[in-house]
Structure 1
Amino acid sequence: MNCTRKQVRITAMFHENQSPQGIGPRWAIAGLALFSLTALLVTAWILVDFSREIQILKELSHHLPASDLPEATELAGNLRFQSQLALLLILNTVVLSGAVVLLVRAYLSSESSLRVTKVLATDILASLDLGIITTDQNAEILSFNPCAESLLWPEQEEQGDGPKHFPNSHQTLTNICQEVLSTHASIRDIDYVMEYDGHPRTLRAGCTLLRDHLQRLIGSVVHVRDVTEKVLIEQRLRRMERYMSLGSLAAGLQHEIKNPLSALALHVQLLREGMQEENPSPDTRAALDVLAEETHRITRVLENFRDFASVDKLELQLVDLKSLIQKVIRLVKPQAEKQRVQLSSQLPDEPLPEVRLDGIRMEQVLLNLMLNALAAMPAGGTLEVTVESFNDSVALRVADSGAGIPKNLQSKIFDPYFTTRSTGTGMGLAICEKIVRQHYGTIDFESGSHGTTFTVMLPAERCSPVG
């Protein structure tokens, strides 16, 4: 699930308490600047006043008697000294004004750096493919980034300041958030499954405490991401590991049991033929029938073992997918008509990209998928086979309108010997998965009440199979 880059909603992480902390320093700097300007003007006014008084004193000195001249001279000296002090005060005021200017520049620079940091932090949160949600100590949402919005509220329009609580469908996030806030212990890697447009998606969540720079508890940080593809890859790797060990076991069992079983089947047949002349009792005939039937069942199990173990080397050649699909449809058509299943195919008019396949093995895959689809619709329905080409791959889909696969069984359907039918061996899909994987392809499915669709993705222009 892609996350579009939007403006990150931040209701607490960056903006809360910004006004009280920002307005205070601004008023202080403005007051200091005003004080410096006032002090400079008052000092200049005092200096001008001193100059005028000295001039007046000089004019008066010319009219004073000689006996008063010493006092006049002393008074003139005091006035000159005070004017010098006023000059010093002006100098101090100018220096203070310069300091205020530097302080204002430093403040504006730091405020600009803070804005850049906030924008950078916002851009980082917006660019993450990980959903980030912050909450307060009551587990109420404070902020979330676009990825979190697309995961938690994919269809909700912007309203006011945004939601305050996690959606009811994401109750797991509420639970882990409350647990972290109550225990103060971090939680990591909690998986839960959600449906988006009818398709299940696996989300992985975690939660940690959110503290400020003084280590005071603010709330919690919840992180959630879509790990659907990762979970599918992990499941495929586990299946591959099981297949590798099961393949070796299958080869050994098929070799060790085949010969004794063949001898047992032969002797059961000879015993039945020998006892027909003696007119055996019904119990004896029933016992022989059970022996023959169980021997045949074990033989079929061994044949599945053989098929599973023998899919090691593929005979690759350029195959016309359209012809291959039409051939399998002809094989399945009588059974579909018998079950009143409407069988159709959607094949593109344009040529498909070249695909190197083992035609016989791929027929086996398609035939198995179509027979499974028919088995899911005993009372009739629709079965459609479609092909879609891409730049470097081809998608082959088999869709039925059956009851679907129960959710509690969907993770097991590719497991060997897993079957929901009393007549099945449980090896069909396991063999199909192995054949597709050896063609460098993948096989997946989607299932619901509307039916089940299996999709086989095959890469174009591959020449060497995997083992």
Structure 2
Amino acid sequence: MKEKIAMEKEINNNNFKGLISYLRKHYGDEGVQLVTRGLINSEKYLIADKYDPLKVTPVQEHHLLDNAYWVSNEFSLQLLANVKKVVSGPNPLFTAGENSVINHMSKSSLFMARIFGPKILAHHVSRLNARFNRTKEVRLVELTDSSAIFELHYKPGYHVTKDVCNWNLGIYSGMARLAGVRGGKIEEIKCVVDGSECCVFTVTWKKNSLIKRLLSWLMRSVTQELVEDYEFTTRQRDKLIDNLKQSEERYRVLTDNSLTGIYIIQKGVFVYVNDRFTQMLNYSSSEMIGKKCWEFLHPEYQDIIKERLMTNSGENQVRFYYELCACRKDGELIWFQVLSTNIEYNSQYAIMGNVIDITERKQMEKEIARLDRLNLISEMAAGIGHEIRNPMTTVRGLLQVLGGKKVCIQYKEYYDLMIEELDRANSIITEYLSLARNKVVDLKTQNLNNIVQALSPLIQADAMVSDKYYQVELKDIPDLLLDEKEIRQLILNLVRNGLEAMSPRGILTIRTFADSEKVVLAVQDQGKGIEPRLLERMGTPFFSTKDNGTGLGLAVCYSIAARHNGTIKVETGPKGTTFYVWFRL
């Protein structure tokens, strides 16, 4: 195992105490971490323990705050290079050096500097350097009542950069400020980086009396404390604001990406809606914010929600769970399942709601109820169909016999009318039996387009008789398992409804196409459309808008679609109605 060797002891960590304090005060823990990145916990920079010199570990932050520890010149240069990445301003190292002295100068040294002026600090500089820095020697070559000149002689083999010179310049500036120097000037007139044998720094200041220095010190101390308190308070406030903004942003991201709709209302008005909720209603957030929430509901639910909002005082944490119907921007109805609760929003009482779209579930429930009704009727029809048909057949036969006798020839017109009505009753019973959900179907693999084309001459003839037009738009579609007789009946029922709904010269269109995992048959007319109040009852047995209708035509269509594992959807408007029959592949 390779032996760990501690780095050379060249720069005492007393030099970095003030720097770490300054960074933490002005740039927080993050600033300290950035400056020490690559230096702390690095196997490149090892340090010997002050109690057990044989124990060598990577440098930690607490080592930099303890003057019992030393680091190498290389470590110090890298630390100063990192300072430039954190401290702002035209000369970051000058600023850091100046503030590190201000944050680290002992109270006794500060008091002596204020009493005796900058001259005492000038003498102190050489002793401090000899105690805490082994890379150079600082010589005070000239000292007057208003100036001092220092020479910095670096020992052979030590690398010096402009970063070091700017740092030293800041150190001397900080000392001058602490000594109460006014109108002073600190500059480097020679530098080893430029080829000189040593670095030469000059410090000049205006001579002040003891009283002026003490008054200046007191004023600066009070002012500095006030400024530092203000800066600290401002930083804490800004940090809290940033944390609050980040927290709000995180919650906004969560709500905007939620699969459920989320809204917040105050006094009945939307103050927040997430993207999912606006998508459900097909409105933009700007179209909803500031509007009364009940304006988007079906009229049947508006008064209910108004009353509920008025009775909810918000004093208790109340939760409401309910279902309601709303209106999308395009006029389509949508069903919501809502869970609402009282909250505080922007320091005011509010109601937050979580919304799930249950329109498909509602439609499925309605479809199941409708099919159950159809099945009940079909079971009744199957039970009594034969019992009714048998006597009807007997009556029809006797009427035919009587109509053929000479003695009854004068009543033949009446006999024919009775036979016609019996045939009509028999056709109604046949349609009755077609409603049966468990009716046996003869499914064979065939193409829906072929059935439509086979019916086209018959449909064309019906259209021409009523002065209307018929057209087909058939796309390539896959084969399906179909009962041809039932599909023919379904198409003819939808076509005849469409023809009867149109005025002369209207166009009836039959289309077929494949969509995703289904084949679609569409029958479109150019009638006046279906009223919304009637739309929900479409397909209900015995419901008809025709004077002589039985109300079984569409009911039979729904039953046939169900037996083929299909569904029927309706789109209607002032320009006509389209019935879509979806067959799953």
**Structure 2 match to 1:309:** 436
Tell me which of 532, 553, 561 is aligned to 1:436. Answer: 561
Name the CA distance, whole Å, in 2 between partners of 1:111 and 1:227: 40
1:132 counterpart letter in structure 2 = I
Any idea what the Cα deviations from partners look like across 1:215-243, whole Å, max 9, x if unmatched?
x9712224444433222212211122122
1:139 counterpart letter in structure 2 = G
**Structure 1 match to 2:332:** 200
**Structure 2 match to 1:143:** 272
Any idea what the Cα deviations from partners look like across 1:375-412, whole Å, max 9, x if unmatched?
11253300111111134321111100011122111111
Q: Could you say if the C-alpha distance between residues 169 and 151 of structure 1 is closer, same or farther in structure 2, counting changes exceeding 3 Å?
A: farther
Q: Could you say if the C-alpha distance between residues 359 and 251 of structure 1 is closer, same or farther in structure 2, counting changes exceeding 3 Å?
A: same
Is the CA contact (8 Å cut-off) linking 2:261 and 2:274 kept in structure 1?
yes
**Structure 2 match to 1:93:** none
What is the RMSD computed on CA atoms of the aligned residues? 4.3
Name the CA distance, whole Å, in 1 between partners of 2:365 and 2:420: 40
Name the CA distance, whole Å, in 1 between partners of 2:416 and 2:327: 49
Q: Could you say if the C-alpha distance between residues 372 and 200 of structure 1 is closer, same or farther in structure 2, counting changes exceeding 3 Å?
A: same
Any idea what the Cα deviations from partners look like across 1:54-95, whole Å, max 9, x if unmatched?
xxxxxxxxxxxxxxxxxxxxxxxxxxxxxxxxxxxxxxxxxx
Of the two, which has the highest radius of gyration?
2
**Structure 1 match to 2:522:** 397
Name the CA distance, whole Å, in 1 between partners of 2:510 and 2:409: 54
**Structure 1 match to 2:264:** 134
Identity of aligned residues (%): 22
Any idea what the Cα deviations from partners look like across 1:198-228, whole Å, max 9, x if unmatched?
x623232647452349xx9712224444433
Displacement after TM superposition at 1:168 (Å): 7.9
Q: Could you say if the C-alpha distance between residues 207 and 315 of structure 1 is closer, same or farther in structure 2, counting changes exceeding 3 Å?
A: closer
Tell me which of 252, 267, 273 is aligned to 1:122. Answer: 252
**Structure 2 match to 1:188:** 322
Any idea what the Cα deviations from partners look like across 1:399-455, whole Å, max 9, x if unmatched?
000111221111111111221112222212111111111211111111111111011
Any idea what the Cα deviations from partners look like across 1:88-121, whole Å, max 9, x if unmatched?
xxxxxxxxxxxxx9xx999999988766654443
**Structure 2 match to 1:448:** 573
5+ long unaligned stretches in structure 1 = 1-28, 31-36, 53-100, 461-467
Are residue 230 (structure 1) and residue 230 (structure 2) matched?
no
Greater Cα shift, 183-192 or 446-455:
183-192
Map of 1:176-325 to 2, 5 A cutoff?
A: 178-184=306-312, 186=320, 188-194=322-328, 196=330, 200-204=332-336, 206=338, 208-212=340-344, 218-270=349-401, 277=407, 292=419, 294-309=421-436, 312-325=439-452
Tell me which of 166, 170, 187 is aligned to 2:292. Answer: 166
Is the CA contact (8 Å cut-off) linking 2:338 and 2:354 kept in structure 1?
yes
Name the CA distance, whole Å, in 2 between partners of 1:354 and 1:258: 38
Instruction: Name the structure where helix makes up a greater proportion of residues.
Output: 1
5+ long unaligned stretches in structure 2 = 1-24, 27-100, 117-231, 313-317
Displacement after TM superposition at 1:364 (Å): 1.4
Is the CA contact (8 Å cut-off) linking 1:388 and 1:394 kept in structure 2?
yes
**Alignment TM-score, normalising by the size of structure 1:** 0.66
2:536 alignment partner, SS class: helix
2:335 alignment partner, SS class: strand
Q: Could you say if the C-alpha distance between residues 232 and 44 of structure 1 is closer, same or farther in structure 2, counting changes exceeding 3 Å?
A: farther
Q: Could you say if the C-alpha distance between residues 38 and 144 of structure 1 is closer, same or farther in structure 2, counting changes exceeding 3 Å?
A: farther
Is the CA contact (8 Å cut-off) linking 1:139 and 1:174 kept in structure 2?
no
Greater Cα shift, 380-389 or 316-325:
316-325
1:452 alignment partner, SS class: strand
Higher relative contact order (CA 8 A, sep 6+): 1
Displacement after TM superposition at 1:266 (Å): 3.5
Name the CA distance, whole Å, in 2 between partners of 1:183 and 1:385: 54
2:435 alignment partner, SS class: helix
1:342 counterpart letter in structure 2 = Y
Is the CA contact (8 Å cut-off) linking 1:180 and 1:207 kept in structure 2?
no
Is the CA contact (8 Å cut-off) linking 1:194 and 1:203 kept in structure 2?
no
2:276 counterpart letter in structure 1 = C
Name the CA distance, whole Å, in 1 between partners of 2:247 and 2:304: 30
Q: Could you say if the C-alpha distance between residues 146 and 430 of structure 1 is closer, same or farther in structure 2, counting changes exceeding 3 Å?
A: same
Tell me which of 407, 417, 425 is aligned to 2:542. Answer: 417
Q: Could you say if the C-alpha distance between residues 43 and 375 of structure 1 is closer, same or farther in structure 2, counting changes exceeding 3 Å?
A: same
Name the CA distance, whole Å, in 2 between partners of 1:308 and 1:456: 17
Is the CA contact (8 Å cut-off) linking 1:125 and 1:132 kept in structure 2?
yes
Name the CA distance, whole Å, in 2 between partners of 1:278 and 1:391: 65
